[in-house]
Amino acid sequence: MMDRSDFAVIAQKTLDDYIAAPPEDRRTRVVRMTSGTSSGEPLIFIREIAAQNPQWFSRYVRSLLCVGNLPMRLGLALVFRKEAGARAKLLVLDNKDLEPSLEVLAKDFAPEMVMSFPSILTRAAAYLGGATVWIQSAVFTGEPLRPATRVHLKKQFPHAVLQPQYMIQEMGSVSSPTHCPYIPEERYHPAGGVVLGVLNPDEEGEGELLVSARVNDDIVLADYRYGDLVRIYREPCACGASVSFEIVGRKNVDFIRFGGATLRQEEFDRVFAQCGDLADEYRAEFSIAGEQGVITLFVYAPTGLSAQHEKDLRERFSTLLFLTPRQTLRDLVVQGIFAPLRVRHVVQWALKGYKDTRLTFAKE
Amino acid sequence: MEDQENLDTFIQRIHQHDAPFYREHWGGVQKFAELPVVTREDFLKTPLSLRRYKDEKALIKIVHDPAGAFLSEWSFVDIGREAYGLPARRPMVFLENPHEAIEKSMWCYEHGMLPLVGEKTLEIATYAAEKYKIDSLITDTSSLIKLEPYVRGRGPLDSISILGERFEPKELLHFGQYARQVRLVLALPETGAIAAAALAAEPRWEALPDCILENTETLLVTKKRLLVTPIVRYQTTLPPLNNYDGAL
């Protein structure tokens, strides 16, 4: 089994090899970077430009790209440059472009496909005006396409086929290029040459994702422990595929694992839905103090948070929040695994960054 | 004489093109020197679809201006023809404007170079630059100033190309010690590179190949290549260039 430290060795070797003897055609490569948000320093490495999914751009003349950091934008723009037709155009949007003037520009450009993070496209849709109806294909990466977001985007882009992709920086697409109509929307088939496994599956087959794939001569992943939670279905599909998978959580985005407990954003959402009389918004931050897990709940209530409401919030979360299939936060506090819940009221409300992420891991 | 003939042919080609932008703007005027100037305001009010003079695989940028925003389309081939940087093994593109950063990274690819595109977060950009052992920089003044602690703390780079619309050369002079060659490249998002000069207290600007510069109250730019939106007697807000004689 490989983990991030093994990949760090591979990443460094790709750099060392490139610096010592760059290949003749350097245009087939790209410098990529893992974010480093979940586990220490970013990893810089060189890999071939992803080319598993030529259909993304090759079917359309005008494509729109709204994704995260610059290396990712460049990597996908290079896929476009390599795979799109001779007259194809690409507009790469930045957060700063999301302003009222975009509506006229989008009408002029008339995009036919968009590749985006779901959260960015949700925001961008408000500025794209009538151009949203011309979009025939919306490919999603970077974040899971949550059911509520899917419904919202389907309304915003009524003629678009929504195609979530599961990609990892280390290799590109793990999922097949187009969504199979015979499997549920939240599932994928693996891309060709990709073998998936599950580490420590529970009774429902859910566990940590292991990815095996030969990316190129330099990068070979063997049971690479990426960290996301997955459920694998080994059953024949009408399309001919024999395996499908569902990502049930993104590591340190949808869930955090600590001391045998799994903190899931959807579980926090579920409990907070029962606290509507106490606060309007929440964000939860997990940290480790000594050997104990600490959950801090930042909440926003327009009229302020009284001592009684704070106490009620603490009580409801402690008794209703399940951190294992059978144990609540209160149970784990009693066992000393977690500290009692901390509640903080914030005067002004804004989620950190642009992602629809309410559960975060504070490293310190 | 031959240059003038080529220029006349170029203007005629634009006149005869299906795209209406210049034909309508110029009316019946045919002679280069008599053509009415075109401004950013004209680009702002004219959709890209009406000023597209060629249809190739291209990258489109959004150009922001206090008066609004407009689209600027550049074919990959044309991006490669601009003189943004110098040959390098491991260039880093570190620019404030993300549209320009992607375009200049593409310029590197068009020249067979594998660039590192610098992230906005300085710490990550610096970390990546160290790991990739960059040997050159394509940057702008504000980004270079941010990166100064990094460039000061390492051995000299092969080259630094500083792109921009305006420069304060005297404030940049000390960057001369951080690279074997430091050049200033006058460029606008919609025109591409216009002129270049070695870094000096009083830079000696030279028009880049295919560029015609006219020193009037402000700098007028013409590019003799057919771009997606051609640049013909484009009136910038840039001051006339010192040390450039303005001759056609």
Per the CB < 8 A criterion, the answer to whether B63 and B189 are in contact is yes
Superfamily of domain B2-235 in CATH is: ANL, N-terminal domain (3.40.50.12780)
The encoded tokens of residue A115 equal 């590749």
What are the chain A neighbours of B109 within 8 Å (beta carbons)? 27, 78, 81
Per-residue pLDDT tens for A284-335? Answer: 999 999 889 999 999 999 888 999 999 999 999 999 999 987 899 999 999 9
Interchain contact, B58 vs A30, CB within 8 Å: no
Interchain contact, B59 vs A77, CB within 8 Å: yes
The encoded tokens of residue A101 equal 């003037």
> Edge-to-edge, what's the strand order for the sheet holding B211-215?
B38-39, B234-235, B219-223, B211-215
Task: Using CA coordinates, name the residue in chain B closest to A68.
Answer: B119
Which comes out higher in pLDDT, residue A56 or B132?
A: B132
Tell me the C-alpha distance between A306 and A300, whole Å. 12
| pLDDT on residue A253 | 65
Interchain contact, B71 vs A88, CB within 8 Å: no
Percent of chain B with pLDDT over 90: 88
Question: Do strands A281-289 and A62-66 pair parallel, antiparallel, or not at all (unpaired)?
Answer: unpaired
- Cβ of A335 under 8 Å from any chain B Cβ? no
Evaluate if residue A355 carries a pLDDT over 60: no
Q: Residue A17 class from Cβ within 10 Å (0-12 exposed, 13-18 middle, 19+ buried)?
A: middle
Distance of CA A6 to the CA centre of its chain: 22
Per-residue pLDDT tens for B13-51? Answer: 999 999 999 999 999 898 999 999 999 999 999 999 999
Per the CB < 8 A criterion, the answer to whether B175 and B137 are in contact is no
| pLDDT on residue B247 | 41
| pLDDT on residue B240 | 87
The encoded tokens of residue A161 equal 């086929």
Per the CB < 8 A criterion, the answer to whether B107 and B79 are in contact is yes
The residue with tokens 């040959």 is B87
Distance of CA A69 to the CA centre of its chain: 13
The encoded tokens of residue A153 equal 């985007």
* DSSP state for residue A240 in the 8-state scheme: S
Percent of chain A with pLDDT over 90: 62
- Split at pLDDT 50, 70, 90, the class of A241 is very high
Considering only CA atoms, which of A22, A75, A41, A74 is closest in space to residue B135? A22
Evaluate if residue A236 carries a pLDDT over 50: yes
Whole-Å CA distances, B3 to A296, A338, B81, B130: 72, 79, 19, 47
- Split at pLDDT 50, 70, 90, the class of A137 is very high
Tell me the C-alpha distance between A174 and A165, whole Å. 8
Interchain contact, A41 vs B127, CB within 8 Å: yes
Per-residue pLDDT tens for B232-248? Answer: 999 999 988 875 544 43
Q: Where exactly are the structural domains of chain B?
A: 2-235
pTM of the full predicted structure? 0.84
Q: Write the ipTM.
A: 0.95
Q: Which of A25, A35, A37, A44 to mutate to test the interface with B (most CBs of B within 10 A)?
A: A44
| pLDDT on residue B248 | 37
| pLDDT on residue A152 | 94
Considering only CA atoms, which of A289, A310, A296, A293 is closest in space to residue A359? A296
Per the CB < 8 A criterion, the answer to whether A253 and A286 are in contact is no
Task: Using CA coordinates, name the residue in chain A closest to B117.
Answer: A71
Evaluate if residue B71 carries a pLDDT over 90: yes
Q: What per-residue string of b and e applies to A78-105 under the rule 16 or more CB within 10 Å gives b?
A: bbbbebbeeebbbbbbbeebbeebbebb
Tell me the C-alpha distance between B229 and A137, whole Å. 28
Mean pLDDT to the nearest integer, A53-80: 90
Per-residue pLDDT tens for B188-217? Answer: 999 999 999 999 999 999 999 999 999 999
Interchain contact, B124 vs A73, CB within 8 Å: no
Interchain contact, A19 vs B118, CB within 8 Å: no
Mean pLDDT to the nearest integer, A260-264: 83
